[in-house]
Amino acid sequence: MGYPAFILSMASLMASCFLQAARAEPFELAVLQGLDKVTARVSTIEAPVGDVVRFGTLEIIARVCDKRPPEETPESAAFLDVWDVRPGEPAVSLFRGWMFASSPALSALEHPVYDVWVLDCRNSSSSAENSSSGSISE
């Protein structure tokens, strides 16, 4: 078993344990953090589940965002699809899988310009005072 396969199997195992044993609850909004390595700007990205949000040349879709209940060990996890979309070029799939807030390096996006990781999961009503969904704040 090679290193990438090992990492993928560990991520799958963590996701399975996380979702079954911890009684994770689904949420409507994945709260992500993005780093532009060129400008050193860090942005908070609110990604409604099922909607496309943009961060630089990246298009991100949060498919699922789950969070353990307060009485459990804290953990948020999101299943993300990430593509690099540049004008005049075909979209390139960069990442598809679970990301865990407590272990961002376990299943990380590899890109020369951008880093993206999960911070939290929320429902839209709890972020009503924030700007519109799908927004990026800096």
Asked if residue 19 has pLDDT above 80, the reply is no
How many domains is the chain built from?
A: 1
Note down the domain range covering 131.
3-137
- Per residue in 29-46, pLDDT tens? 999 999 999 999 999 999
Q: What is the percent of the chain with per-residue pLDDT over 70, rounded to a whole number?
A: 72
Comparing 4-8, 38-42, 60-64, 128-132, the range with the smallest average pLDDT is 128-132
Nearest of 114, 119, 76 to residue 95 by alpha carbon: 114
Alpha-carbon distance of 63 to 61, in angstroms, equals 6
CA distances from 26 to 71, 105, 109, 112, 123 (A): 16, 23, 22, 31, 9
